[in-house]
Chains A and B, each alone.
Chain A
Amino acid sequence: MRYLPHTSEDIDLMLQAVEADHLDDLFSTIPDDCLSKDDLALPEALTEWELDSHMAALSDAMAVSPDYKIFMGAGSYEHYIPASVSYLLGRSEFVTSYTPYQPEVSQGTLQAIYEYQTLAARLLGMEVATASHYDGATALAESLLMAVRISKKRKVAVSSLIHPFYRKVVRTYFEPTGYEVIELPYLKNGFTDLAGLDELNDLAAVAVQSPNFFGCIENLKKIGEKIHNKDALFITCFTEALSYGLLKNPGSQDADIVCGEGQSLGIPRSFGGPALGMLAGRKKHMRSLPGRLVGKTKDLDGKRGFVLTLATREQHIRREKATSNICTNNSLCALAAAIYMASVGGTGIKKLAQLNHDKAEYLKQELKKAGFTISFESPTFNEFVVEFPAGFDSVYDCLLNKKIVAGLPLAEYYPELVNHYLLCVTETMSKNDMDSFVSEVKS
């Protein structure tokens, strides 16, 4: 096996050194009744070349663009990824290192993550950002737990227009804690209904997603005022990070904690993971943040350098009193996002975000012209909900055969929204693609 460098001579010499006769003797201290009696029942080893064809066959059994036209986002977005991003991300000094416990031999990872934290904070308009989390959903769960820690209150409210899967993850995280999670309904215009807030007291935080799951851009400023009047922390959440190339960032709308998914920033969809949980906050809450943080410092000669910092929040020091059980970030995904943000740049991201908006708007207008109803009138970024006529599900299946995915059917997540579909258009979709989509759904 090419990954195992030992020759039989090496093995003999090493066994001699440890005073053992056979490799099995190394396990002689394990009680006999703990040893497994049978060989592992696994498929026999493949050569590198056999593996190539086996994996190619699996990969070929997947529906992906450009073969398929997939008008589906819902938390996983198709964006172009420059070759330079993938290429740099493959540098094995980044790929094969670990959490930078030893900063002197990890300055590459550390500076890159410090830069990621900075770009993430600038994108979201916040003062500090963590070194990243598993995904948007766990970042939201951690944000809500953080709010509970800060406020010492035991109740949180979340908008029902937060991604349904994110809310499920929050439920899972909150189940053993005894803290209460309340869901806020939505209005006919596709916005979160905050009227119920008046009845609620002792809220640690209220979380709202924008653009929300229906694609609508919430009025965060107004929402924030309302939440702050209740003396609760204002958490905003997002699934489409690129939208802040165009929209007002949540920090400028007075969010206390911002969290969400950064997959759009140079990370392939990969069936949903790995992804990039982003989490940003205010300086005053810095010591309550979950997860890794990189800070700037100096070496013995006064030279700039970077280290993992504020470790006294973390599990390896605080053990059962830690702010979270997290011990790593999704470092390579954060690196991808940093390289992507650096490549697109301040000028580029505005244009790219505008293009996403305009393409989605084009499809929206064309569908309207074709007589379909846009379910919610509120402004959107690159996703929106359309109501197709009753019985559209059979058309949906026909379109699948024609390699078109006509968005996400919403009824599974919002039973009242039968025949409503969440559509997504990014810069990867051409006008031609959209025109033929409209003519297909019309027919």
Chain B
Amino acid sequence: MPLAPLLRREGLAKLSGREQYVDDLDIPGALHGITVRSTSARGTIRNIRFDPEIDWSSFVIVDHRDVPGLNTVKLIETDQPALAATEVRHIHEPVVLLAHPSRRALRKAVRAITIEVDPLPSVLDFTVRPTPEQIQHGSDNIYKQITITKGDARSILADAPIIVEGVYRTGAQEHVYLEPQGMIAEEVDGVIIIRGSMQCPYYVHTAVCHALGREADQVRIIQTPTGGAFGGKEEFPSGVAIHAALLALKAGRPVRLVYDRTEDLAATTKRHPSWTRHRTAVASDGQLLAQEITFLLDGGAYMTLSPVVLSRGMIHAAGPYHCEHISIDGRAVLSNTVPFGAFRGFGAPQSLFAVERHMDRIALRLGLDPVTVRQRNLLADGQTTATGQVVADGVDRQGLLNRALSLSDYAAKRETHRQFNIDTPDRRRGIGLTTFFHGAGFTGSGEVYLDSKVAVAGLPDGTIEVRTASTEMGQGTTTIFTQLASDRLGLPPEAVAIAQPDTAVVPNSGPTVASRTAMIVGRLVQEACDDLRRQLSLDATDRGNDVAEAIRAWHRTHPNGLLLGQGHYRPPPGIEWDEGTYRGEAYGAYGWAAYVAEVEVDLRTYGTTVLDFVAVQDVGTVLNTTLARGQVQGGVAQGIGWTLMEECQWEDGAMTNNQLTNYIIPTSSDIPPIRVAFQETPYPHGAEGAKGLGELPMDGPAPAIANAIAAATGAEAAVLPLTPERLMADLDR
């Protein structure tokens, strides 16, 4: 039985403007905070000069000496200071914090502080080997190096008659969530309470406890409705929360630290720039014989999540194809730019762009249709991925591709474009496709390590409250959890409340990342509902009023009692992963997709217009059609931006176009109709058969569009973004 449809539960609150985001909260007596940042890419702090023109006594001033715990933003590593003490590693690195009642006074004060730095040699190009003077991490500036080996690619390549080579590059991308970063901190009865915009309340909790030297029960993190995140509010908010807390402790009053757009664009994490080289041995019929791949990521000035972004990028780097011999070598390296971090797709959009653009190069070289090359190599059940994972999920991958081809009218379009390009002097049309996959949930044993927990509380009035740390950031957590719990217990949606994530109330269901919420946490919500029913001595046939009445009866006999059903993650059987050798089941489930883009390039302006876009995917059972379609269309739009227009411009490792005036994201007039279709092969271990969905649609647009541009114009189309300037240089080469 499919779940009953449900409109977005908080939708009306958002449409009516009643939803209260962090900067909408009216906190009496709160000061405003601001961050004073480095203006040097790398160096030793010599002095911090406060302009005597300003009366500093009216400001709360915080620097590294005010950090009561360990002065680091704890994540995978503890390399990033909460506030720089002696050394800065990138422009915009936080050094001093200020608080004051007036935002205007703060903006003036920031300009009156000079951070004097003795410069040190910086690294601004991550593809160049550093000199000894540039080393800042380990002995080589490498944050993480990974090798994936299947078979013996080197021997095959040594004797191969046909080798296709290519180098592919992608640029940084800003998340541009419409609500900038923000936190409000205060101390109440010895407990630091921090409210703000975030994906992962327990990440923030861990980082704040670490930096402030507090016990877990002395820190309480509450997520406020979050106006978009896309990974940009995975790890970055931890630092903002620490800063707000430091100011609040020193001020003895609540402090509101909310970024404006220019600060948010300049100082927050972005998608990792990448460099990928492919050397591929192929048979004349298009069969992949050996893939040798080198994958480099620019990690920026601190490690953040770069090792896991690298890992996911590499696991996807060979594409959704069967090949007996694969060698992938990857490194994430330091540079003195703003740290790069989590962003929807998490390394996979970069590596999939490379392999999927490369597949079209292979087709061109062999004189085959790009469809043929993919049909010949797409993984079939029983075959293995690059990590040796046997694919056996019953998904009809050839069928996905065929559906995308027929929905997009691919074959006929190829013919009409041929004629159009002869008849039309100034414009060129082309169609391009990509087949790809995206692993859902944490990599390897990551989900076991997360050890996620969920609770469903039965309340005295017979309603229930779902308690998880999984946040709503627009993707639909609240609605999906309501549908799942309502369906499981037969209660109407109105009888299901979703608790606002608050670390004092909700158990740790893990971070809201990696397309894991519906599939993994949703499943735990169902299990917690079952556990609640067990505690009430009900059986599975008891639903609706029987459940509500049993909850009320329990409370009559247990006054002030806590009735909690619990769900606790257990891995599906057969998941084996070896982190040392990178062999085994990298992901419990994969979403699979085939996307097709049709473009027109104007040869006078070199501007590209996407005329049509078809997105066909298998993400298991679709739990809510409107939400799922919205995720795909939103991801495709974000992908179109990354492919054609979004370009961070850098000077000395700092983003110089940190305004929406010149960092251009797509508007409604830039986006074609995005036609979405789902093939639904239920995943037995996901909630109601669901697999991860949120990130997959970010992977497909770049290769589909680049392949279409190449088909239209003959461009190399190997470097993103394909701005008019870059395409002009490409075609005039």
Is B one of A's binding partners?
A: no
CB within 8 Å of A: which residues of B? none
